[in-house]
Copies of this chain bind each other. A is one copy, B any other.
Amino acid sequence: MTMTGEMLIGGGAVYGKGIAFRAVDPATGREMEPAFGGGGDAEVERACALAWEAFDIFRETGLEARARFLEAIAQRILDLGDALVERAVAESGLPRPRIEGERGRTVDQLRLFAQVVREGGWLDAHIDRAQPERRPLPRPDLRQRHIALGPVAVFGASNFPLAFSVAGGDTASALAAGCPVVVKAHAAHPGTSELVGRAIQAAVAECRLPEGVFSMLFDSGHAVGTALVADWRIKAVGFTGSRRGGIALMNVAAARREPIPVYAEMSSINPIFLLPAALETRAETLGKAFAASLTMGAGQFCTNPGLVLAVDGPGLNRFLEAASVALRESAAATMLTPGIHAAYDDGVRRLTARSDVQTVARGQACVGPNQCQAALFAADAEAFLSDPGLQEEVFGSASLVIRCPEVATMRAVAERLEGQLTATVHADDADADEARQLFPTLERKAGRMLFNGWPTGVEVCHAIVHGGPFPATSDSRTTSVGALAIRRFLRPVCYQDVPAALLPEAVQDGNPLNLWRRIDGDLQSPDGKDASV
């Protein structure tokens, strides 16, 4: 499969007449072939029209057929072989093992959603049986299932060119829910996007689905994305990126005649709380492990540990010393794009210049373009509490340690934090009381709480939550990773006295889909004797 620079609109491919752009290899700063033609209103219109046309058919595909479609996408991504890995490495500056791992995660994620679709729990089927004898009024027959919201706009993320991009978590969960997807590809990895997009396009054709189930648009600016979110046929948005970008899309969505949900995963500094006993017994281990988590992938993770809180004293000094040693040995690593690199350098410069912030350690100096030189800073709790600016995320391997006079101050700082994807506590048995006191605050602030671990590395499974209060995300009621992500793209519909011949399978008598269902409020298994409705 070769790259042509074309957008994929339904079953076709079209070279955009807008401003063309090329991918940049951040490791060399050089542009790569081919040039990708930017899209415009005509392509947004066509992609949305096809998605709308496909919607009623696609949302009613059988569970098995839809699951196989997701598996077909996974297989076709694997079939791209080394060409995909090479292009993704070149476009992202990420090391080959990371891209190979990310490909595995992308494929596993599609297969997880295939399982989720087959099991059918997301249909959330309910049946409240008629009570014709009830007084004063009979009760009608009421049934409920969830249906797809409508076509979804997905924005590829820069930092996961596979797992949160064209066939990433947002796309997989939207397709699983029965929503056609229109992707606005990230301009940082257009070649990777085209390859993966063509794999999805081929899977659509192989599974004989309506062509509008998937389209993919290019634009090096914001016009196409804005037009897409504003289009009346788009009913939800999935986005992973900057706070500014997410808020811009939220505003477009809120200003529509029909406002729509935006699932934007934006900004998080993922605080780490080092409790006294843990710090006392294993400051060196913690410092070393922290530095490893901070510098992994040049710190370009949503869950990168950007803030550390501890009581000032010998334990914290040992932690800082161990972290500094590790950090000073850490090689500078290529960042995803020149823009991200410039923003990182800006953020580090801003912190370095402050009189109330100390530079504790830097990583090894840069030896190539667009490299991230790790940075560890420290400040007093007083400084942090008096300036909300110190909460701003510096995307990359930079972190700020807050020296607190006592544990109560750590709680006070926690209470002042914005919403987070994660909050981590390092605690020994002797820290149990402190941990217990911190717990409710962290639960209110974050989507995921970790003990004695590191937030980088998000497991794709059933119980995971990759979400959290604003500005971590625009909608704390959901997760963008894991099985529950499918719920973002569903809504309930109730069927009152609908004739058997017209009822959707999920709520038919006899339970043809073998679902867990709630009958008069009670959960019943597919094979339960009471499930005979």
CB distance from A379 to the nearest CB of B (A): 23
CB distance from A255 to the nearest CB of B (A): 9
With A and B bound together, what is the CA distance between A459 and B523 in angstroms? 20
Q: Are B140 and A475 in contact (CB under 8 A)?
A: no
With a cutoff of 8 Å between Cβ atoms, the chain B residues found around residue A452 in the complex are: 497
Interface string of A449-465 (1 = CB under 8 A from B): 11111000101011111
Residue A496 interfacial (CB < 8 Å): yes
Residues of chain A from 138 to 160 with CB closer than 8 A to chain B in the complex:
139-140, 142-144, 147, 149-150
Q: Are A142 and B459 in contact (CB under 8 A)?
A: yes
Q: Are B261 and A463 in contact (CB under 8 A)?
A: no
Chain B residue with minimal CB distance to A520?
B462
With a cutoff of 8 Å between Cβ atoms, the chain B residues found around residue A450 in the complex are: 140, 496-498
With A448-B493, A492-B447, A502-B435: A142-B523 Cβ-Cβ less than 8 Å: no
Interface string of A124-150 (1 = CB under 8 A from B): 001110000000010110111001011
Residue A518 interfacial (CB < 8 Å): yes
With A126-B462, A523-B516: A494-B453 Cβ-Cβ less than 8 Å: no
CB distance from A196 to the nearest CB of B (A): 24
With a cutoff of 8 Å between Cβ atoms, the chain B residues found around residue A518 in the complex are: 462-463
With a cutoff of 8 Å between Cβ atoms, the chain B residues found around residue A449 in the complex are: 493-496, 498
Interface string of A476-497 (1 = CB under 8 A from B): 1111000110000011111111
Residue A350 interfacial (CB < 8 Å): no
With A516-B523, A521-B115: A477-B491 Cβ-Cβ less than 8 Å: yes
CB distance from A106 to the nearest CB of B (A): 16
Q: Are B523 and A461 in contact (CB under 8 A)?
A: no
CB distance from A270 to the nearest CB of B (A): 12
Q: Are B462 and A128 in contact (CB under 8 A)?
A: yes
Residue A467 interfacial (CB < 8 Å): yes
**A470, A484, A496 interface centre (most CB from chain B within 10 Å):** A496
Q: Are A463 and B143 in contact (CB under 8 A)?
A: yes
With A450-B496, A451-B496, A477-B491: A128-B444 Cβ-Cβ less than 8 Å: no
Residue A250 interfacial (CB < 8 Å): yes
Residue A92 interfacial (CB < 8 Å): no
Residue A419 interfacial (CB < 8 Å): yes
Size of the A side of the interface (Cβ < 8 Å), in residues, is 78
With A and B bound together, what is the CA distance between A365 and B60 in angstroms? 50
Q: Are B494 and A464 in contact (CB under 8 A)?
A: yes
With A and B bound together, what is the CA distance between A139 and B462 in angstroms? 12
With A and B bound together, what is the CA distance between A479 and B119 in angstroms? 24
Residue A121 interfacial (CB < 8 Å): yes
With a cutoff of 8 Å between Cβ atoms, the chain B residues found around residue A137 in the complex are: 457
With A and B bound together, what is the CA distance between A258 and B476 in angstroms? 11
With A and B bound together, what is the CA distance between A120 and B484 in angstroms? 18
Choose among B121, B258, B461 the residue that contacts A142 (Cβ–Cβ < 8 A). Answer: B461
Q: Are B490 and A149 in contact (CB under 8 A)?
A: no
With a cutoff of 8 Å between Cβ atoms, the chain B residues found around residue A30 in the complex are: none
Q: Are A259 and B497 in contact (CB under 8 A)?
A: no
Q: Are A56 and B440 in contact (CB under 8 A)?
A: yes
With a cutoff of 8 Å between Cβ atoms, the chain B residues found around residue A495 in the complex are: 448-449
Choose among B56, B60, B127, B457 the residue that contacts A463 (Cβ–Cβ < 8 A). Answer: B127
Residue A109 interfacial (CB < 8 Å): no
Interface string of A247-262 (1 = CB under 8 A from B): 0001100100011010
Q: Are B432 and A128 in contact (CB under 8 A)?
A: no
With a cutoff of 8 Å between Cβ atoms, the chain B residues found around residue A447 in the complex are: 491-494
Q: Are B483 and A443 in contact (CB under 8 A)?
A: no
Choose among B56, B250, B251, B463 the residue that contacts A128 (Cβ–Cβ < 8 A). Answer: B463
Q: List 20 A-B contacts (CB under 8 A).
A: A128-B461, A137-B457, A140-B453, A140-B459, A142-B459, A143-B463, A147-B443, A149-B477, A150-B444, A250-B254, A259-B470, A447-B491, A448-B493, A449-B495, A449-B498, A451-B499, A465-B494, A477-B490, A479-B494, A523-B523
Please name the 8 residue pairs, one residue from A and one from B, whose CB atoms are nearest each other, closest first.
A465-B494, A126-B463, A142-B463, A448-B494, A144-B463, A128-B463, A450-B496, A462-B521
